[in-house]
Chains A and B, each alone.
Chain A
Amino acid sequence: MAASDVKLLGASPSPYVNRVQIALNLKSIDFEFLEETFGAKSELLLKSNPIHKKIPVMIHNDKPICESLIIVQYIDEVWTSGPTILPSDPYDRAMARFWAAFVDDKWYPALKELRMAEGEEAKTAALEKLMEMMTLWEDAFAKCGKGKGFFGGECIGYLDIAFGSFLGWLRVTEEMGEIKLIDEAKTPGLAGWAERFCSHEAVKGVIPETEKLIELAKMFQARAKAQSQN
Chain B
Amino acid sequence: MADVVKVFRTWSSPFALRVIWALQLKGVEYETIFEDITNKSPLLLQYNPTYKQVPVLVHNGKPILESLVILEYIEETWKENPLLPEDPYERATTRFWAKFGDDKLVPSVRGVLMTQGKEQEEGIPVVIETLKLIEEQLKGKKFFGGETIGFLDIALGWTANLMCVFEEVTGIKFLDAETFPLLSAWIENFSDVSVIKQNWPPRDKLVLKFQAAREKCLAEAATK
What residues of chain A have their CB less than 8 Å away from a CB belonging to chain B?
Answer: 51, 60, 63, 65-67, 70-71, 73-74, 77-78, 90-91, 93-94, 97-98, 101-102, 136
* B64 contacts partner chain A, Cβ-Cβ < 8 Å: yes
In the complex, besides A73-B91, A136-B50, 18 extra interface pairs with C-beta distance below 8 angstroms are: A51-B100, A67-B95, A67-B96, A71-B92, A73-B95, A74-B89, A74-B92, A78-B88, A91-B59, A91-B62, A91-B73, A93-B72, A93-B73, A93-B76, A94-B70, A94-B72, A97-B72, A98-B65
Encode contact with A along B68-92: 1 for CB under 8 Å, 0 otherwise.
0110110011000000000011011
Q: A51-B133, A98-B69 are known contacts. Are A70 and B96 too (CB-CB below 8 A)? A: yes
Report B-chain residues with C-beta under 8 Å of the C-beta of A60: 89
**Interface of chain A, helix or strand or loop or mixed?**
helix
Q: A91-B62, A101-B69 are known contacts. Are A66 and B96 too (CB-CB below 8 A)? A: yes
Do A101 and B91 touch (CB < 8 A)? no
Do B50 and A102 touch (CB < 8 A)? yes
Do B73 and A94 touch (CB < 8 A)? yes
Chain A's closest residue to B72 (CB) is A97
Report A-chain residues with C-beta under 8 Å of the C-beta of B142: none
* B52 contacts partner chain A, Cβ-Cβ < 8 Å: no
Q: Name the distance in Å between B89's Cβ and chain A's nearest Cβ.
A: 6
Q: A63-B89, A65-B89, A78-B88 are known contacts. Are A70 and B95 too (CB-CB below 8 A)? A: yes
CA distance A97 to B72 in the complex (A): 9
B interface size (C-beta, 8 A) = 21
Do B88 and A74 touch (CB < 8 A)? yes
Do A101 and B89 touch (CB < 8 A)? no
Q: Name the distance in Å between A116's Cβ and chain B's nearest Cβ.
A: 21
Do A94 and B95 touch (CB < 8 A)? no
CA distance A97 to B70 in the complex (A): 10
Report A-chain residues with C-beta under 8 Å of the C-beta of B59: 91
* B135 contacts partner chain A, Cβ-Cβ < 8 Å: no
Q: 8 closest A-B pairs (Cβ-Cβ)?
A: A77-B88, A90-B76, A94-B73, A74-B92, A94-B64, A97-B69, A65-B92, A70-B95
20 contacts between A and B (CB under 8 A): A51-B100, A51-B133, A63-B89, A67-B99, A70-B95, A71-B92, A73-B91, A74-B89, A74-B92, A77-B88, A90-B73, A91-B59, A91-B62, A93-B76, A94-B64, A94-B73, A98-B64, A98-B65, A98-B69, A102-B50
